[in-house]
Structure 1
Amino acid sequence: MPEGDTVFLAGRRLHDALAGRELTRGELRHPRLVQHDLAGRSVLEVVSVGKHLFTRFDDGTSLHSHFRMDGSWHLYRPGRPWRGPDHQVRAILEVPDRVAVGFRLHDLDLLPTEREDTWVGHLGPDLLGDGWGSAAAAEVERRLRADPERELGAALLDQRVACGVGNLYKAEICFLLGVSPWTRVGDLTDRQVHDAVTWAHKLLARNAWRPEQSTTGDLGEGAQHWVFERGGRGCRRCRDVVRTAGQDDGGADREDRIAYFCPTCQPGPHPPPARRGGRRPQQQSGRRSRYG
């Protein structure tokens, strides 16, 4: 699933291309929405809320989209070939000089703008939201502490705590804190809880306006992350081997969330090493195309 900065960047690019423009084509190919023609509506703005996007129109409606694991919005000049098969297209929003094409948008909904909270009202503060500040940060800290028995890695992924952190930033925040992803939130100091929230906002904000996602400060190929997607390779700090293990985030698919960690730099509870010849968690790439 994409990180919040990926969705933020896609939203800003869609906003720049569509806002203040009347749609010459507004086609929805989602099974529940095929009867709606958006042509003739003007786009007021495109905004992101965590991992959700809302395209707001001048008639008081909003088009909600969520990327899930493989969705994306692409922008094209009219007449240019699309980088994806036609059967995966779920939405087409066109103005005279740009075409926005939504691929594999499993969550797509057209609703009154005043009812957007039905999708995002339960979420925690948006780490990249306009209202981010000390009050929002304090609220995230409060929500983190609300379940002291929960593992930190799982809590960071919970969008009800804060909007925007995905598996990449979960791994990197835990490394920068110097704690295991399996550490109980209740075992963290107040300073560590504060720093977890600070790092979450800082890392997403650092990468929000560019396609590259670096947590090390280095944009070079293979040097952008501390431990994420470095399983079996040397830790950048101590040269111990970075390990991987499945971490239950509270959902049904344990192996969808691979935790990356250095057992030396991140003391605390760890799963036992996999036995030789045993089944290893399937690693999934967090690298995504950030079109938009």
Structure 2
Amino acid sequence: MPEGDTVWLSGRRLHAALAGRRLTAAELRVPQHATDDLTGRLVREVVSRGKHLLTRIEPDLTLHTHLGMEGTWRIERAGTRWPGTREPVRVILANQAAVAIGRRLARVDLLATADEATVVGHLGPDLLGRDWDADEAVRRLSVEPDRPIGEAVLDQGNLAGIGSLYRTELLFLRGVHPLTPVRDAGDLSRMVRLARQLLWTNRDHPEQATTGNLRRGHQHWAYGRAGEPCRRCRTPIRRGEIGPAGQERVVYWCPSCQPARSQ
């Protein structure tokens, strides 16, 4: 699933292509909205909220989309031939300058802007949002002190935007084993500040580097490096899955730099 910075960048590009322009055509290729007509309406803005995108349309509508595991938004010049119905396209929004094509989107909802909370109200503070609140993120993480920190930081209800990649890199940089209980995970204020810094640093480009090195194979400390030597101590990186039953997600760690808490 795309990380929050990837969604933020998609939102920024969609905003540049759509905001302030009227839709000359629109298709919502999902059964519940297939007959809704947005043609002629002005797009006010496109904003991200964690891993969700909100396209706000005058006078009072919001198109909510979620990329899920495979979703993408692609922007083409006006006049580009639209994909046929056999393509995995869920949304097409066109104006006189550009065409935005949403492929393999996991969710597509058209709702009143006043009702946005029904689709994003469950999210915690947005790591890349204008209303980022580090204290609130710490408070939410602290509510379940016995929960593994690797689960807690990935919970979008605690802080919105972190995925498996940044979860791994964040815990490596803080020297914390993924199964460490929240209460023993150290300074949570420093942890959430670092989480925001990692996403903020990568928000303007598609490459995601936590080492400061954008070269292929050198971008990450631990993520995707199972069996390879730790960049700090040379101990082989390990791979596992953690999370509630049925919601397990991959995580990597260094057993030396992130020792398991002794019982």
Normalising by structure 2, we get a TM-score of: 0.95
Correspondence 1:174-253 to 2 at 5 A = 174-189=171-186, 191=187, 193-248=188-243, 250=244, 252-253=246-247
The answer on whether the counterparts of 2:174 and 2:191 sit within 8 Å (CA) in structure 1 is: yes
What do residues 43-65 of structure 1 show as CA deviations (whole Å, max 9, x unaligned)?
A: 00001111110101112101000
Q: Secondary structure at the match of 1:153?
A: helix
Q: Specify whether residues 121 and 267 from structure 1 end up closer, same or farther in structure 2 by C-alpha distance, changes over 3 A only.
A: same
Percent identity reads 50
The answer on whether the counterparts of 1:84 and 1:103 sit within 8 Å (CA) in structure 2 is: no
- Please give the alpha-carbon distance, in whole angstroms, between the structure 2 residues aligned to 1:53 and 1:181: 29
2:113 maps to 113
Aligned length: 262
1:280 maps to none
1:3 maps to 3
Deviation at 1:209, TM superposition (A): 1.0
What do residues 217-264 of structure 1 show as CA deviations (whole Å, max 9, x unaligned)?
A: 11111111000011111111111111101112x25232xx11101101
2:129 maps to 129
What do residues 190-228 of structure 1 show as CA deviations (whole Å, max 9, x unaligned)?
A: x2x122101110001001111111111111111110000
Q: Specify whether residues 105 and 188 from structure 1 end up closer, same or farther in structure 2 by C-alpha distance, changes over 3 A only.
A: same
- Please give the alpha-carbon distance, in whole angstroms, between the structure 2 residues aligned to 1:83 and 1:260: 38
- Please give the alpha-carbon distance, in whole angstroms, between the structure 2 residues aligned to 1:184 and 1:113: 38
The answer on whether the counterparts of 1:71 and 1:102 sit within 8 Å (CA) in structure 2 is: yes
2:168 maps to 171
Q: Specify whether residues 200 and 220 from structure 1 end up closer, same or farther in structure 2 by C-alpha distance, changes over 3 A only.
A: same
1:145 maps to 142
Deviation at 1:106, TM superposition (A): 2.3
Q: Secondary structure at the match of 1:157?
A: coil
Q: Secondary structure at the match of 1:173?
A: helix
1:49 maps to 49
Q: Which amino acid aligns with 1:235?
A: C
Unpaired runs of 5+ in structure 1?
Answer: 271-292
- Please give the alpha-carbon distance, in whole angstroms, between the structure 1 residues aligned to 2:69 and 2:147: 24
2:255 maps to 263
The answer on whether the counterparts of 1:4 and 1:164 sit within 8 Å (CA) in structure 2 is: yes
Normalising by structure 1, we get a TM-score of: 0.86
Q: Which consecutive aligned stretches of 4+ in structure 1 deviate over 2 angstroms post-superposition? A: 78-87
The answer on whether the counterparts of 2:65 and 2:105 sit within 8 Å (CA) in structure 1 is: yes
Aligned: 1:64 with 2:64: yes
- CA RMSD of the aligned region, Å? 1.7
Q: Which amino acid aligns with 1:2?
A: P
Q: Which amino acid aligns with 1:261?
A: W
1:282 maps to none
What do residues 106-151 of structure 1 show as CA deviations (whole Å, max 9, x unaligned)?
A: 211000001101111121111101122xxx1011111111101100
